[in-house]
Amino acid sequence: MPDITKPPGLFKRLAIIIYDALLLVAVLFLSTVVLLPFQADNIFEPNSWQYSIYLLFVSFIFYSWFWTRGGQTLGLLAWKLRVADQFGNNISWQQAAIRFTVAIFSWGVCGLGFFWVLFNKERLTWHDIASKSRLFWKEKD
């Protein structure tokens, strides 16, 4: 039985990321299909920064929508967790933007922001700290 007074550790967070990545890949494929009719010869230019920004924006909307509307992505739902502010309320779009941006930066430095959970006594990552949010165990309905 997990200690519901503490946020989850690194391995549970990585499992959540894998769950969410599977769904996000499907969403990104669909987002790409939506753009195909607007591309010359139905292909994307190599290294198109506009396409990269588009996919980043779709990813932001994907995560932020779930985080601000109940606090649970598919991965969080599967592990009975939710993202909330320090008081247990849904996070704002501003907090979601900070959380998303810092999480990307955390991966960009070899995952150090995620591994921070191993050193923080409250088991918080950089994006938890920066966005003033955290993962809570979901109470039974």
pLDDT tens across 7-66, in order?
Answer: 899 999 999 999 999 999 999 999 998 888 877 775 667 677 888 999 999 999 999 999
* Residue 129 pLDDT greater than 60, yes or no: yes
Residue 42: what pLDDT?
Answer: 59
The two structure tokens encoding residue 90: 């849904």
Whether 123 has a pLDDT exceeding 60, the answer reads: yes
In angstroms, what is the C-alpha Rg of the chain?
Answer: 16
Q: Output the average pLDDT for the chain.
A: 91
Contact 66, 96 (CB under 8 A): no
Q: In whole angstroms, give the CA distance from residue 40 to residue 60.
A: 26
pLDDT at 102 over 70: yes
Place of tokens 């006594």: 121
Closest C-alpha among 52, 30, 33, 50 to residue 42: 33
